[in-house]
Amino acid sequence: MSEIGKKIRLERIMDRESRNMVIIPMDHGISMGPVRGIVNLAEMVNRVADGGANAVLLQKGMAKHGHRGYGRDIGLIIHMSASTSLGPDPNDKVQVCTVEEAIKMGADAVSVHVNIGSVTESKQLKKLGDVAEFCDYWGMPLIAMMYPRGKDIKNSNDAELVAHVARVGAELG
C-alpha cells in the first residue's frame, strides 16, 4: 500500500487549509449523450476552476481533450465506470478504464459507480473490490459512487436505504 502516493494525490484535489473538496462531475456524456455546457471542455474547466473547484471528474477519453482547460491547475479524477441510456440495462455499469491507465493520464483519483439493487449488483461489487485493491497498491484515492437503483427500489431517497448503500461502499474500500 502506498500511503504517501495517496496523500500526495489527495492534497492535489483538496484545499490544504480547510481540507474541503469541490469536485465537478463532467462524465455524463456517456450515459446521456452530449451535455449542453460542456461541449467546449477546456472553456468549462476554466470556468469551474475560476469558481473554486478543486477537481473535475471525467471519462478517460475526455481527459485527453482539456482537463487543464487553458492552463488552469485543477485536479483530475477519472471515472472508471460506464453504461448508456440506450442499452438494455442502464443500471449495468461496466469498467472501462484501469487504475494504471488513470495513473498514466496523471489522475489524482479514480471513481467507480455501483448500483445497489440492480440485476448486476454482484458483478459491480466485485469490480469495486478489485479496483479498491489496485488503488491500495498504487496509492490512488478511490471514490465509490454508490446508488440505490434497480427494479425493486421503491424510494431511492429513503434514509435507511441510503445509509446501507453508503456503508457498502465504505466496507469495500
99-151: per-residue pLDDT in tens?
A: 999 999 999 999 999 999 999 999 999 999 999 999 999 999 999 999 999 99
Tell me what pLDDT residue 69 has: 66
Please state, in angstroms and rounded to a whole number, the distance separating the CA atoms of residues 99 and 109.
9
Any idea what the CATH number is for the domain that residue 102 is in? 3.20.20.70
Query: Domain of 20?
Result: 3-172
In the chain, the amino acid numbered 137 is Y
Number of Cβ atoms within 10 Å of the Cβ of 155 = 10
- pTM given for the model: 0.92
Alpha-carbon span 93 to 60, nearest angstrom: 16
**Cell representation of residue 47:** 470556468
| 14 touches 143 (CB < 8 A) | no
Domain count for the chain, please give it.
1
- Say which residue the cell 448486476 belongs to: 120
Give yes or no for residue 1 having a pLDDT over 60.
no
For position 31, what pLDDT does the model report? 86
**Cβ-based neighbours of 142, under 8 Å, separated by 6 or more:** 109, 110, 111, 112, 131, 132, 135, 173
**Which pLDDT tens digit goes with each residue over 21-66?**
999 999 888 888 888 878 788 888 989 999 999 999 999 999 887 7
Which DSSP state fits 66?
T
**480547510: which residue's cell?**
18
